[in-house]
Each structure stands twice: as structure tokens, then as C-alpha cells.
């Protein structure tokens, strides 16, 4: 016995007669009558990885953690207890390896923070356009209700003409078919006054003053009448002359013509004579 040398271990070395992990999985698969494709389909482990593991090549697994997971999955598929195989793999490949980093804390730390909400300019522009359209519509609607609207066919309205000098000629409506005697007597002698009445049927009527400016144009419904005054002349076109009765300068001159006849008439101050 030499001084300083440790005592020798006379125990015989332990011999591991177990087959490699991959070989054990391959033998169990064959004994179960399964193909690699069938094991791959049932375990969702790709066939190339199954082939590599059965040849004890764990490089395709992506690390010890995934290798042990595949060993457990394949062992259960072929009817083996997975834990002895996992322990054997750890012993053959240097222990269990580094502990995998917990996934949840990483995700929690690296969670993307939401950015501050930006103004929705599209919605603001749409709201502004709607407001402008609404304002324009409101303005047009109010503007269409003033006294400058044009007469509508079938709805006689008051029409007035203007001149630079002298009284303004006017036209008025009257829903009664016949004027009173006082209204006829009140017609001014120095002007021309024409009252038209639709008697029993409607008629299209066009009225213009001495300057050719239109005072009214449209249908005069049955039972309604209109009066027009000018200093010089009233020009009249009647589409259904037999339906129109005329009162000119305070006198009843009868119907403008026969039913369906188109008449063009003009009147001046004084004793009414249709031109």
C-alpha cells in the first residue's frame, strides 16, 4: 500500500443492459403492429421526428424539454411506461437539462401595451358634412317659403307687377265665381282691370302685363277667379275659352269663347274691347 494514494474501488462497474430509448420505442411500436405514420397521426408528432427518435437522434426535437415530451407521447402510443424511458434519456444525455423558462411570465412582461387612442378624424369629417348638408337644406327650405315663390299650376296665387313710376299693378285671387257689383264699380277708370273666373270647368290661363312680363301661368280650377290690374294693357291667353268668364274694367263681357277654343285677348283702360 503506497502512502498518499487513495484506496482503489474494487467494486465491479454497473453494466446497463437496457436498450437505448429510441430502440425501445421502435421495438414496442413493432410489437404493437403500428407503422410510423400511424403513430405520427395519433400523436401529432411528425413522421421524420419519430424516425429520428427511434434511431436515438434527438436533434430534431428542438431541445431536451421537447425530447422528453415526445418520448412520453410516443411511449404511451406504443403501450410503454414513459417515466423509465424519460429517466433513461436524462441519464444518457447529461441530466434533465436546464429548467425551461416559464412562458406565462415572459408573455406578461412582454405584453404589448395599447397605444393611446387616436382621434377618429373620419367620423369627425362625416359629422361635419352632415351638419353642412343639414344647414343648407334648412336654408333652402326656409328660402322656398317666402313671398318670392312662383305660382303653381292649379293653385292661383296673388301676383303683382312693379313699375318705376305710378301705382303698382296687382293681381288678386277670389274663390267666388262672380264678383259683386260694388267690386265692379270700384274698378279704377284710368287703369285696365281684368277678372277671370273658371265657370264649371278648369282652364289653362296665361296673363302678362303691358311690358310682356308674366303675371300668371297655369291651370285655373273650376269655381276660382283671379283679378289683374295694369296701367296700360293686360294680355290674356285662354286654353279653354268656353270655361272662362271675363269681367273687364267693371263690366261683364261674358265668356272668352267656346269650349276647347284657345283665345288670345288683350284689354286696355276704358270701355272693354277685346283685341
CATH 1.10.260.40 intervals, the chain: 21-97
Average pLDDT, rounded, for the chain: 76
For residue range 210-241, what is the model confidence (pLDDT) as tens digits? 999 999 999 999 999 999 999 889 998 988 88
Question: For residues 196 and 248, what is the distance between their CA atoms, to the nearest angstrom?
Answer: 9
Query: Residue 185: what pLDDT?
Result: 52
For residue range 162-194, what is the model confidence (pLDDT) as tens digits? 344 444 444 554 544 444 444 455 567 789 898
C-alpha closest to that of 229 among 187, 270, 263: 187
Residue 152 has pLDDT above 50, yes or no: no
Query: Residue 260: what pLDDT?
Result: 83
How is residue 8 annotated by DSSP? P
In this prediction the pTM is: 0.34
In the chain, the percentage of residues whose pLDDT exceeds 90 is 36
Band of residue 7 on the pLDDT scale cut at 50, 70, 90: low
Residue 124 has pLDDT above 60, yes or no: yes
- Residues 239/205, Cβ–Cβ less than 8 Å: yes
Reported CATH class of domain 171-267: mainly beta
Question: For residues 9 and 27, what is the distance between their CA atoms, to the nearest angstrom?
Answer: 37
Residue 109 has pLDDT above 70, yes or no: no
C-alpha closest to that of 183 among 227, 120, 146: 227
Query: Residue 221: what pLDDT?
Result: 94
For cell 423558462, name the residue: 101
How is residue 202 annotated by DSSP? -
Of the listed ranges 24-33, 42-51, 144-153, 211-220, the one predicted with least confidence: 144-153
Question: For residues 190 and 55, what is the distance between their CA atoms, to the nearest angstrom?
Answer: 128
Residue 71 has pLDDT above 90, yes or no: yes
- Domain 21-97 sits in CATH 1.10.260.40: yes
Question: For residues 39 and 14, what is the distance between their CA atoms, to the nearest angstrom?
Answer: 34
Considering Cα of 30, then 34, then 38, then 39, what sign does the dihedral take? negative
Give the residue, 58 or 147, on which the prediction is more confident.
58
CATH 2.60.40 intervals, the chain: 171-267
Mean pLDDT, rounded, for 16-44: 90
Amino acid at each position: 500500500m503506497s502512502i498518499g494514494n487513495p484506496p482503489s474501488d474494487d467494486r465491479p462497474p454497473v453494466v446497463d443492459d437496457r436498450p437505448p430509448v429510441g430502440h425501445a420505442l421502435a421495438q414496442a411500436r413493432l410489437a404493437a403492429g403500428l407503422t410510423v405514420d400511424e403513430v405520427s397521426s395519433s400523436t401529432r408528432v411528425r413522421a421524420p421526428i419519430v424516425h429520428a427518435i427511434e434511431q436515438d437522434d434527438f436533434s430534431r426535437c428542438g431541445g431536451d424539454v421537447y425530447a422528453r415530451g415526445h418520448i412520453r407521447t410516443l411511449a404511451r402510443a406504443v403501450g410503454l411506461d414513459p417515466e423509465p424511458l424519460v429517466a433513461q434519456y436524462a441519464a444518457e444525455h447529461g441530466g434533465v437539462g436546464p429548467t425551461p423558462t416559464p412562458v406565462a411570465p415572459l408573455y406578461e412582461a412582454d405584453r404589448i401595451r395599447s397605444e393611446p387612442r387616436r382621434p377618429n378624424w373620419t367620423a369627425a369629417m362625416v359629422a361635419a358634412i352632415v351638419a353642412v348638408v343639414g344647414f343648407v337644406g334648412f336654408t333652402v327650405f326656409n328660402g322656398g317659403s317666402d313671398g318670392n315663390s312662383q305660382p303653381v299650376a292649379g293653385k292661383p296665387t296673388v301676383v303683382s307687377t312693379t313699375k318705376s313710376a305710378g301705382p303698382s299693378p296687382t293681381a288678386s285671387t277670389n274663390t267666388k265665381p262672380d264678383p259683386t257689383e260694388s267690386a265692379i264699380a270700384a274698378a279704377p277708370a284710368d287703369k285696365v282691370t281684368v277678372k277671370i273666373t273658371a265657370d264649371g270647368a278648369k282652364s289653362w290661363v296665361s296673363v302678362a302685363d303691358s311690358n310682356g312680363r308674366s303675371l300668371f301661368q297655369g291651370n285655373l280650377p273650376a269655381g276660382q277667379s283671379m283679378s289683374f290690374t295694369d296701367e296700360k294693357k293686360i294680355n290674356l291667353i285662354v286654353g279653354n275659352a268656353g270655361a272662362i268668364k271675363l269681367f273687364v274694367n267693371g263690366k261683364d263681357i261674358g265668356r272668352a269663347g267656346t269650349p276647347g277654343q284657345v283665345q288670345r285677348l288683350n284689354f286696355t283702360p276704358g270701355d272693354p274691347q277685346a283685341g
